[in-house]
Structures are given as structure tokens and as C-alpha cells.
Amino acid sequence: MAGWVHRRRDHGGLIFIDLRDRHGITQVVFSPKDKVAFKIAENLRPEYVIFVEGKVNKRPKGAENKELATGGVEVMATKVEILNPAKTPPFEIDQAGDINEELRLQYRYLDLRRERMRDNIVFRHKVVKFMRDFFDKKDFLEIETPILIKNTPEGAREFLVPSRKHPGNFFVLPQSPQQLKQLLMVSGFEKYFQIARCFRDEDQRGDRQPEFTQLDIEMSFVEQEDVLNLAEELVLKLVAKLTPKKKVSKKPIPRLTYAEAMSRFGSDRPDLRFGLELIDFTNWAKKTKSDLLNKAEVVRGLRVSRAELAKKETFTRSEIDELTILVKNYGLGGLAYVTKRDRELISPLMKFIDSKAQATFKDLKNGEIIFFGIGEEGIVNAALGALRNEMALRLKLADANRLSFVWVTDFPLFAKGEGGKLEAEHHPFTAPNPGDLSKLDKRPPEVRALAYDLVLNGSEIAGGSIRIHEPKFQQKIFEVLGLDGKEIGERFGHLLKAFEYGAPPHGGIAFGLDRFMMILRDEETIREVIAFPKNQNAYDPMLETPSPVDGDNLKEAGIGIINKKK
């Protein structure tokens, strides 16, 4: 056997080595009877790389280790060779608990020796293999698309790659293979998939990586239903095979329209492992005497029931203060509430609510509380959506062992960007719902798209759409988005030109592979399922990069640095 010294124990005159390799740990025993081997074993330290020869014996009765796959046997060593000694690692490889993440990333090759990380990487391989087999069986082709391309506007900032051959010109790294997979449909490949690396130069809000992996899919001659069915079959088969211990709700995956998701859960990626649906109080609020309430665009409530509170009596003042800070981050002015203590209603709004209005709360049980979001609909939804998730966290309402998928469909085609400018909600190639075409010119925000997201436990794990395939119509959407003829030609000329040569109707979807695996592995960040991720500051502490390059390299690329940060 060959591998790494995981642990050494000297015990009753014998030396025990836990030898670690990719598949796990095996116990090796050295006896002083075997003088040469024993002498070497005395010098073995953690992480030495060794080669061992010996005889596999059954362990003595009572000495078995049920935790280990090899726990029934041990190797009685007759020969050992040190292939390479090792320095003491900066953290213990068999340490299960918290290790400073920056240190882990700096020594990622050692971090990956740890069991949990090794298992994550092995799992990742299995997921990707499953996907490849699945699509192969369904007659899809895996086709690579280039990494050096022209920009593919989908909303994120792109990484630039200077061209030495064409000074002053740049490639960009793809945020996704979106346009290329559409062009492959024009080529007639009909069913495409790719495990594709994508790049987005975004601020590291939350759990993001500048490069990440998508399972990218595109199909011709399909409707939304075909894409949803395929993706559904994939994920349900995949989790049944690879995470058999997880509880998964029955087929089919439930569906919510975007509008429903927002009004019931305050989010377009609701976690359906728990209830806590929002309740609309707008009509009620209109009848109260408070201007705050009756002038608000919407008033919605989040009611925490006795069952959800479980053993918790009620929310304390300081907890409510914390929750108020949370909702203020989403733009709410404050967090009003109604609760009941000793059968008495308590609320900062009490003086505005007359006895008639109070009747609404008569079934409130002691300790139960309704939090209110008062104001603009978008802000109220976002704030209460976040509060709903926070409640679930604090009250432990989400079953960690459950996988709860939900489709969110009928997204709006457009979103309001900076300065109220119309932007594509998904990307500009998304087809509108044919039923809403009449609103395209006059009321674009009301146009729904043939776009869908797959949500798992409150995270978006996939998103896609049916695409526009008629060049004139694509041109029209660019115009609605405020692009002029010149911009359209420069940025999308290739696509419009291609569409003029017979583009089939097509649509697709892409999965964020890292996030999907993170959830399946119960990890907190996608970094835990990526072999060599960047840190939260988009920096690689192991390679120590991004880093300056040689002046000559810059000159060749025709680049001068104007704003050098230390």
C-alpha cells in the first residue's frame, strides 16, 4: 500500500499507523520483532508519504473499528519505505472542526486531503458523470464553446482579455455560453449540453465566485413544458441516486408563477420546506385611522404561529430590534407588529387600530406575533421574504434533510434598472409570453416572459427560457430595451445575421452546478465544492493572484496601468 501517514500511535510495544489514501484509512501495525521496519516506523510523522508491504490480518476480537470501511482488518507490516517526508502541516488533516478559511485556501492542496473535502470532490465527479450519462442516453451532444469571445450581455460585468495580435482590442470571457448555444441550434444540432465554465466580474456579494460551472442545455423544436420536464427528470433521478438519504417531495415538482411566489413568500426563490406564508393586510389597513397604514401601497404580514414558536414564549424587545435592522436593510422604514401577551394585544400601532380593526387579531394566541411590512410592494415583499427566511433560521423550521424543489415560472420580461431604464430580467434573448404581446409597446413591465427558474431550498439552482428565434422580433426587443441600430449591429449583429438563415424555435436552461452541489452536500458556501476557489474577495491565496505582470507583457498587449492599487 502507498499513501500518507494520517496518525501514529505507539501502544503496548507496537506502532500503529493509520495510512490514508484516496479511498480512506487502513491500519498498519509494526511489531518490534520486525526490527528494520519498526525502526523506520519510529520515525514516521503525520503526512509522510510511505510505501508499506505486509500481510492483511483479521483484527483481534474487540479491536474492530466499525467506523472504518477497513475496520475489520489490519496490515502487519513487513517492509516500509519513506517515499517523502513532510513538514508539519499548518492545520491538522484530521481536524473536523473550524479551520481559518483563508489558511485552508492558502494550503488548498492540504485542505483537499481532509475527508470532508475529498468526499465533496468525489461527489462532484459523480454528479457530473451522472449528468453526462443522462444526456448521452437522451441523444444530446456535449459541445465545447470558446472561452475567448465577444461580450454576451446578460447583466454581469465581464472579464477582459487583451489581444496582443490586435492591440487595443479585447476578448471577453463568457458569462455563459448563451449566444453560442443558440448558434448551435441554428447549426442544427438540436440537443446540446455542456459542463461549461462561466466568468462574471461581479462584486462578491454573498456566495459568488468570479468563475463557476454551469450545466448548460439547449434544445430545438421545444416548448417550455419540454424543458421543464427534462430538467425535472434529471434532478429527481440524480438526487434519488446520489443523495438517497435525503427526503424529496413527490413528483411532479410544484410550480408557482413569479407573481404568486412574490405575494405568498416575498421571494422569487421561496424555501418551501416551511410555511410562514405572507398575509395581505392592505384592505384592512385602508380602514384604519393611521396614515402610515392606509396610505401605504401594500401592507403585508408574517404571522408566526404557536406551533412555529414551539417552546419559545415570544420575541423579546432586543430580538425585534435585530429583526428591525434586517428589514431596514431592505428599505422598510421599520418593523411594526402585533403580538399577544397575557391575552392582551400589544402593538406599537395600537393607538391607530380601533376595536373593530383589532377584531382581525382576535384569534392570535399568547406569544404569537404578526410582523408587518408597510410601504411599496417591491420593498415589502423583499423585506418580508428575508424576514421569513430569518424566522426559519431562528426557529429551526427548515428540515436540513429535505430537498424541496419548486419551479417559478412567468417571470416578467423586463426589470427596471438604474434610473428606471428598462432591462432584460433574464437576458435579452428571452421570448415574451405570446399572450402579452399587445402590452409590449405601451406597458412593457407587465409583459411576462417564457422564463423559468428551478429553486431548491430557497436557492435558485437553474434558470432558462424559450428564446426568440425570429430576427425581426429579436431586433424589436433590443429596441424596446433602448438600443439603437448601431449598438444592435455592433453587439448582436452575428446573432441577428445567423437568425436570417433559418433559426429553429429553441429554448434551454442552465444549472449553477456549484450551488446545486453545495445544497446536496449540506455545505454553507460553494467554495466547499470547488477544488480551487477564490476567496470572498475574488483572490486566490494559494496562487497569490491576481498579481502584477511583467512590464514587457503589458507593452506587448498594448496596455498601460493608470490606477495601481497597493
What count of other Cβ atoms lies within 10 Å of the Cβ of residue 450?
A: 23
How big is the CA angle at 30 (ends 26 and 32), to the nearest 5 degrees? Answer: 170
Nearest CB to ligand ASP, comparing residues 412 and 463: 463
Query: Nearest distance from residue 281's CB to ligand ASP, in Å?
Result: 35
Nearest CB to ligand ASP, comparing residues 80 and 449: 449
Q: Rg of the chain's alpha carbons, rounded to an integer?
A: 29
Return the C-alpha cell found at 140. Answer: 444530446
Query: Nearest distance from residue 195's CB to ligand ASP, in Å?
Result: 14
Binding residues vs ligand ASP (CB under 6 A):
154, 176, 178, 463-465, 508-510
Query: Nearest distance from residue 464's CB to ligand ASP, in Å?
Result: 4
Query: Nearest distance from residue 465's CB to ligand ASP, in Å?
Result: 5
Nearest CB to ligand ASP, comparing residues 371 and 452: 452
Nearest CB to ligand ASP, comparing residues 375 and 463: 463
Q: Which CA distances in Å does 193 have to 131, 264, 503, 505?
A: 9, 34, 18, 17
Query: Nearest distance from residue 198's CB to ligand ASP, in Å?
Result: 7
Nearest CB to ligand ASP, comparing residues 337 and 414: 414
Query: Nearest distance from residue 507's CB to ligand ASP, in Å?
Result: 8
User: How far apart (Å, rounded) are the C-alpha atoms in residues 519 and 522?
Assistant: 5
Return the C-alpha cell found at 295. Answer: 396610505
Query: Nearest distance from residue 442's CB to ligand ASP, in Å?
Result: 27
Three-state DSSP at 92 gives coil
Nearest CB to ligand ASP, comparing residues 298 and 513: 513
Closest CA to 210 of 545, 551, 564: 545
Block residue for cell numbers 495580435: 165
Closest CA to 384 of 338, 339, 320, 326: 326
Nearest CB to ligand ASP, comparing residues 426 and 534: 426
Query: Nearest distance from residue 209's CB to ligand ASP, in Å?
Result: 14
Nearest CB to ligand ASP, comparing residues 178 and 324: 178
CB 448 within 8 A of CB 412: yes
Sign of CA dihedral 282, 284, 286, 288: negative
- 281 CB contacts (<8 Å, ≥6 apart)? 299, 300, 301, 360, 372
In Å, the largest CA–CA distance within the chain is 93
